[in-house]
Structure 1
């Protein structure tokens, strides 16, 4: 092991990502050093670069969807060994807020996000808390394991925990890119019927049908509401997921939700949608729920599903780029060149 490693560093003052040689970090108590195999490029990474998300550090290594092998154990780490295949959790509880102090770590009020508050994995090595690791079965490819840290686990949390989708419920998904594609797959996996995909790209809608959607519609269709009504026997949707986060997608999704149904906001932007007149909102008893992230146990559940062949992520890896070519990967995601589900970096 050399004394330095390559890492893509984000500078908040200039909004630039630069490839640099930096010291290999040393794992502290309860931590491990992970040799990164793959790391995803996520829209939230782009949001930090373009200023949509405020920086939490003046300089930080980006990348929060990481898989790899343990290279070194820090003091007091047990149950793990060098060479173990792992997925790294994309955040750490602060340990000091009121929720953390009472043991409710999953609802930490000041969660520290990997690649925002501390260094991530667009690098050859990254440091992770041992308690945040998930073991990867030998038959699960590490490139697929990497995206379990957000692109698949966040949809899992949205479908199972926030949306609480039940067998037989009707589900709509607005935006079937990296997150929405997996919401479609997971909604079908838990027994939702029908599962309806909504997007503006014909190729993306066709892909959604191939990956599990029962129907797929262009959101610009003037008869969209009527089509959903026809499919659901007039009930409309039990659960709608907005994986885009724009005003237009949020409000359209909410309009398609049935009385007492749920809208789960997963996508993020700087736009400000409304729920309409409060009188109607109260009368229809619709619920609007915000969603972020997952619980670490969700990654373990997903590794089991992939390992057992219940969840197919073979089409989720659209491209793999080298660390020195990360700007090309960022640009392709930003332009939606080739309609990527997830582009990975291989250090």
Structure 2
């Protein structure tokens, strides 16, 4: 076992291909993971098309000019590196955190949220490969009853909306929420909102199939954002109060403008969808008078993944409907095209080495 297949993005030319590369060797505090499933996310598509670039690329990425994609990864421990602290053993079933702290910034040294966190498959090599290196503090054990492909999507597709709702949005039972974009993130945002006990859950998406999916996943109302009576429909669903918390999982400026327009008094807009476009407030006086807020959100926290693994394994959160397709790693380019063109209206496509 000297070489393996890996889905590599060459950053200079923005060309993607599945290539044969050397199998990496784990260093101190690391393990080599045999990948069993890896999710395909819209941010992977944006890395390939150049609208998203590595935030803090590590030396290996900078030196080679290429990056193995994939931040949603599950598999089994294959080889142990030296100086491990935990009791890991080959064959242990795990899912990987989507990123890792730098361990060196002032916040890390004081035990706070890292200010220079790095993302797997963005800043360092990810899991679109047969094997991947993982620092042991990014390993989360998964039980035998949780399939690899369901576990793999938790660290982003599920934990990002979980963090957006529970931590950044601080949503409480009984509050009204609006969820724009019912794709990989928004679909799970709806399910988490139902678990929390929010009411009503209003889903917003221009695609009829996505609105049908939103209702199947637990939304109380599913609206077309271009409908002429959109604002009236939100007003009716919320008893004339407007939304307590709105979530942009789509990453489009028009979404943010529309969400702000239907916030209630004290309402909050959470930005979870990524776009380089600026945030604008058309009526800033009214925004301030209504005590509205805009909060940014990125990714999920480690404890969120732990809790979601527990919810999924206990049957409280059924992730089977979220896995739209399973595609061999060798056909990763086809998976990217399917997601980019929304072929089959995917929630999550999973690569299987």
TM over 0.5: yes
Partner Cα separation in structure 1 for residue 320 and residue 37 of structure 2: 15
Name the residue aligned to 2:109. Answer: 101
Which structure 1 residue ranges, 4+ long, deviate > 4 Å from structure 2? none
1:315 alignment partner, SS class: helix
Q: TM-score, normalised by structure 2?
A: 0.95
Name the residue aligned to 1:91. Answer: 99
Name the residue aligned to 1:258. Answer: 264
Report the Cα offset of residue 69 of structure 1.
Answer: 0.3
2:90 alignment partner, SS class: coil
CA contact (8 A) 1:67 1:88 kept: yes
CA contact (8 A) 2:71 2:120 kept: yes
CA contact (8 A) 1:40 1:147 kept: yes
Report the Cα offset of residue 207 of structure 1.
Answer: 0.9
Name the residue aligned to 1:81. Answer: 89
Report the Cα offset of residue 330 of structure 1.
Answer: 0.4
The counterpart of 1:226, out of the listed 223, 232, 241, is: 232
1:147 aligns with 2:153: yes
Report the Cα offset of residue 272 of structure 1.
Answer: 2.1
CA contact (8 A) 2:34 2:77 kept: yes
Name the residue aligned to 1:121. Answer: 127
The aligned runs of 1:16-95 (5 Å cut-off) are 16-55=15-54, 56=57, 57=61, 58-77=65-84, 78-95=86-103
How many residues are matched?
344
Name the residue aligned to 1:160. Answer: 166
CA contact (8 A) 2:17 2:333 kept: no
Question: Which deviates more, 35-44 or 14-23?
Answer: 14-23
Unaligned runs of 5+ in 2: none
Report the Cα offset of residue 54 of structure 1.
Answer: 2.1
Question: Which deviates more, 71-80 or 150-159?
Answer: 71-80
- Cα RMSD after superposing both structures: 1.1
Report the Cα offset of residue 96 of structure 1.
Answer: 2.2
1:178 alignment partner, SS class: coil
Partner Cα separation in structure 1 for residue 212 and residue 124 of structure 2: 39
Unaligned runs of 5+ in 1: none
CA contact (8 A) 1:246 1:273 kept: no
Name the residue aligned to 2:293. Answer: 287
Q: TM-score, normalised by structure 1?
A: 0.97
